[in-house]
Structure 1
Amino acid sequence: MMCPAPATARSTTTPRIPLLPYVLLGLASTVMSLEPDAEEEWAAVERRGAHLVTRAAERPFIIHGFNTYWLMSFAADEATRPRVTAAIAEAAGAGLNVCRTWAFADGGYHALQTAPFCYDEVVFQALDFVVSEARRYKMRLILSLCNNWEDYGGKAQYVRWGKEAGVDLTSDDDFFSDPTLKGYYKAFVEAVLSRINTITNEAYKDDPTILAWELINEPRCPSDPSGDTLQAWIEEMASYVKSIDTMHLVEIGIEGYYGPSTPELLLVNPDDYSGHVGTDFIRNHQAMGIDLASVHIYSDTWLPDSTEESHVQFVNTWMQQHIDDAANLLGMPIVIGEFGLSLKDGKFENEFRETFMQTVYNNFLGSWESGMIGGGCLLWQLFPEGAEHMDDGYAVIFVKSPSTFNLLANHSRKLEC
């Protein structure tokens, strides 16, 4: 999902904020009550076939998560840093256990990577804070390492850097094939994975708080609809990540479109175009080093003129096909990395958004309860109060939507049974 950059002032200091009590929707809970027991081992999550388990306890691990992409950027500013703690704390209060967020900002405002091989220590310390706060609330992280879109830099910024260095580039898709740009990306990956957290004194690659690395958010390479270019990049970069970090899981970040390797499934895609953007759900996930099958769901933009009933039917079909394929063809857990429904244009009301959300949860829950597959779902997106200016229409703010809080909390309880 494309997303706006925050419009907040930069601070040069990143002090650690004190613990703050929260009372959410009448449920009295404090930050302290959500902290893990100091004696409890914080075990890594690993893949066992089509399921996830915590490594030490050998317990099933089900992802019940959310997206809040701007955590690092907000943590880099003293004025907005409390929103980071609030977002994680409120999600934990609803029983959510995984947050997907950006571990990149390429050039521009609050850049983590200011230029190839150059990183802003203030922003890196902000990411340290995000990781440490997640650990404090027993919240796992899926950290995305780049963007297909121009928001927060992405592949377009890599191409600009390459051109500035005199590399002959003609398209943003050169990001996936040019050796110089791939070198920039690998250097950034190494810097993040090898980072020693200044708060926990633990390397990211050794921290079980991190559930998975995501290679790139929603990659597309329409200049090569055969999929060969993107496939080669996925294979190379998944192998590279694993060469540095053998502990953590890796996912691609694709939207789940079927491609040329499965022509019989092209009709499952929301439209004809999506089958020609260079991605290929089955083939992409057969790359060595990929552990999780990633899928996104945005029927409100993919099917702009459909009825509410059509949206529900699409979600059912889209999810069941991907669940079947992840379990039977790929043998790996499925992660609905983004799903949401926008209220921005007034076409849908919150009541239907909750129906949409419940449909997603029910599809996953049915397959999980049957023992078919593991993984889980991550809502796009959850915001604390005070971050409304970042809302793209999809934001769920608990204090303004208690019924949605109850929906998420109820799903949490079902996953604990």
Structure 2
Amino acid sequence: MNRKLVKFSIVLIVWMFCPDYLLHAQENFVKQSGTQFTINGKPYNYVGTNYWYGGLLALKGKEGKKRLKKELNFLKKNGVNNLRVMVGAEGVLEYKYSVPHADALQPQKGIYRDSILYGLDYLLNEMEKRNMKAVLHFTNTWDWSGGLGQYLEWNGYSPQLHSKVENYDWNKYRDYITQFYKCEPCKDDVDNYIKYVLKHKNSINGINYVSDPTIMSWQIINEPRPMRTVNNQPFLDWIKNTASLIKSIDSNHLLSTGSEGDIASDNDMTIYKAMHADENIDYLTIHMWPKNWGWFKDTAMNANMDTIFKKAEIYTEKHVAIAQELNKPLVIEEFGMPRDLSSFDTASPTNNRNLFYKKVFSLQTKHTIIAGTNFWAFGGLARPIEGQIFWKEGDDYMGDPGGEEQGLNSVFSSDKATWKIIKLFSKKLKN
């Protein structure tokens, strides 16, 4: 038989019968190489955004898909190629500010809806067409998507406490959520949910999630917190065990924690370091929230910008030091700032926000170990409804989840001055 024909036959047989995860084993996946990310051996640095609702838009019929495509095209045009997205919401979600029951991936304990995961399938397929990468977080510390409190409630604990309700108490919320780390059936439920997602095959392009290079990284949870020091070790054990589970199923993708930094553990850096020292965690993350963390008061941003910049430098640099010690990349994966005078009006200026974005981008330039930034959050084509502060079911999703004022931190497609800064920095990174 002709030698060339034999070679062709072998290649054809491999192509026909080899699993897709082997065919894609090294191609186009984001990898960690010391303190940097690479794709096919070349450095990968990025400007990204948080698009938590991206996997829900395709569930809204033709108009939802149309909006999604327009927004992805807009992001691509403006140099944003990395999207941090929620995998799915959990629970009955009767809380009026949460993702509604109709959009919950896990509406009841152990019940998963492929019809909802279709939205993420659609998003990933559209992102692949545009050469974009996704960071996907499984669950949430906060109640706007169900999160850890929902697993407690499913396993016999009292109904979870919600924010933005009468008599809300932050310390009681902490006491409630911290119980998760000693709730074995709760942790089993999260494991089962993760297994369901990791074993999923994209219903549109037929690619197994574990074999899809469009996914840059899985993320255990959005903003993990032990909540109480008494549960620091159970918290670390849960992070470690969950990371091990994910990597045992999917060794193709990077894995991250979703951490805000040491503020999540009452400024105890040993907890942050221990989380990220784990061999299964590929890079470090931090978030920065000047308003939420009291770096300025109310509308007094103008008078406090120098203080905000200084605190941003200090917070970033102490986490950079840990990243250097662990020899892993760092990503500033959430950072946000209200519009001037804390207005929710899209016609209001964003001068202070723009200055803060410039500051964060300058930190990425200064510290090459910072391989990526994801601003919070992309509001896209949605707009706040005049006279209505909070989201209600049926409204368009935007960057601000239901429990937050609509327009608080969202960067809308109409925010031209902000997009100019983002696009300029993205070009600078490429060069």
| Fold shared per TM-score above 0.5 | yes
**Residue 343 of structure 1 aligns with which residue?**
339
Cα–Cα, structure 1 residues 279 and 183, in superposed 2: closer, same or farther, change >3 Å? farther
Q: Are 2:119 and 1:134 equivalent residues in the alignment?
A: no
Look up the equivalent residue of 1:337 and give its one-letter code. E
Residues in 2 aligned to 1:365 and 1:61: alpha-carbon distance in whole angstroms: 14
Please tell me whether the aligned partners of residues 83 and 135 of structure 2 are also in contact (alpha carbons under 8 angstroms): yes
Look up the equivalent residue of 1:413 and give its one-letter code. K
Residues in 2 aligned to 1:89 and 1:252: alpha-carbon distance in whole angstroms: 29
Q: CA deviation at 1:136?
A: 1.4
Look up the equivalent residue of 2:411 and give its one-letter code. V
Residues in 2 aligned to 1:164 and 1:297: alpha-carbon distance in whole angstroms: 32
Identity of aligned residues (%): 24
Residues in 2 aligned to 1:74 and 1:175: alpha-carbon distance in whole angstroms: 30
Q: CA deviation at 1:224?
A: 3.1
Residues in 1 aligned to 2:328 and 2:379: alpha-carbon distance in whole angstroms: 30
Please tell me whether the aligned partners of residues 235 and 288 of structure 1 are also in contact (alpha carbons under 8 angstroms): no
Residues in 1 aligned to 2:110 and 2:196: alpha-carbon distance in whole angstroms: 8
Q: CA deviation at 1:163?
A: 1.1
Q: CA deviation at 1:88?
A: 1.8
**Residue 309 of structure 1 aligns with which residue?**
306
Q: CA deviation at 1:226?
A: 6.0
**Residue 300 of structure 1 aligns with which residue?**
291
Cα–Cα, structure 1 residues 383 and 42, in superposed 2: closer, same or farther, change >3 Å? farther
Cα–Cα, structure 1 residues 344 and 48, in superposed 2: closer, same or farther, change >3 Å? same
Instruction: Give the aligned length.
Output: 351
Please tell me whether the aligned partners of residues 177 and 227 of structure 2 are also in contact (alpha carbons under 8 angstroms): no
1:84-107 CA-to-partner distances (Å, cap 9, x unmatched) read 222222111111110001002102
Q: CA deviation at 1:228?
A: 1.0
Corresponding residue to 1:402 among 416, 420, 426? 416
1:302-347 CA-to-partner distances (Å, cap 9, x unmatched) read 12337111101111111122122212x1110001110010128537
Q: CA deviation at 1:175?
A: 2.1
1:120-161 CA-to-partner distances (Å, cap 9, x unmatched) read 121011111111111111110000100000011000111111
Q: CA deviation at 1:408?
A: 0.8
Cα–Cα, structure 1 residues 229 and 283, in superposed 2: closer, same or farther, change >3 Å? same
Residues in 1 aligned to 2:32 and 2:262: alpha-carbon distance in whole angstroms: 23
Residues in 2 aligned to 1:350 and 1:164: alpha-carbon distance in whole angstroms: 43
1:38-77 mapped onto 2 (5 Å cutoff):
43-54=28-39, 56=40, 58-77=41-60
TM-score by length of 2: 0.77
TM-score by length of 1: 0.79
More helix by share: 2
Q: Are 2:261 and 1:256 equivalent residues in the alignment?
A: yes
Q: CA deviation at 1:258?
A: 5.8
**Residue 12 of structure 2 aligns with which residue?**
none
Q: Are 2:198 and 1:198 equivalent residues in the alignment?
A: no
Please tell me whether the aligned partners of residues 223 and 264 of structure 2 are also in contact (alpha carbons under 8 angstroms): no
1:354-373 mapped onto 2 (5 Å cutoff):
354-368=354-368, 373=369
Residues in 1 aligned to 2:336 and 2:270: alpha-carbon distance in whole angstroms: 21
1:26-41 mapped onto 2 (5 Å cutoff):
none
Cα–Cα, structure 1 residues 409 and 176, in superposed 2: closer, same or farther, change >3 Å? same
Cα–Cα, structure 1 residues 91 and 228, in superposed 2: closer, same or farther, change >3 Å? same
Please tell me whether the aligned partners of residues 75 and 130 of structure 1 are also in contact (alpha carbons under 8 angstroms): yes
Q: CA deviation at 1:409?
A: 0.9
Please tell me whether the aligned partners of residues 145 and 214 of structure 1 are also in contact (alpha carbons under 8 angstroms): yes
Please tell me whether the aligned partners of residues 335 and 374 of structure 2 are also in contact (alpha carbons under 8 angstroms): yes
Look up the equivalent residue of 1:85 and give its one-letter code. K
Cα–Cα, structure 1 residues 42 and 403, in superposed 2: closer, same or farther, change >3 Å? farther
Please tell me whether the aligned partners of residues 140 and 146 of structure 2 are also in contact (alpha carbons under 8 angstroms): yes
Please tell me whether the aligned partners of residues 342 and 408 of structure 2 are also in contact (alpha carbons under 8 angstroms): no
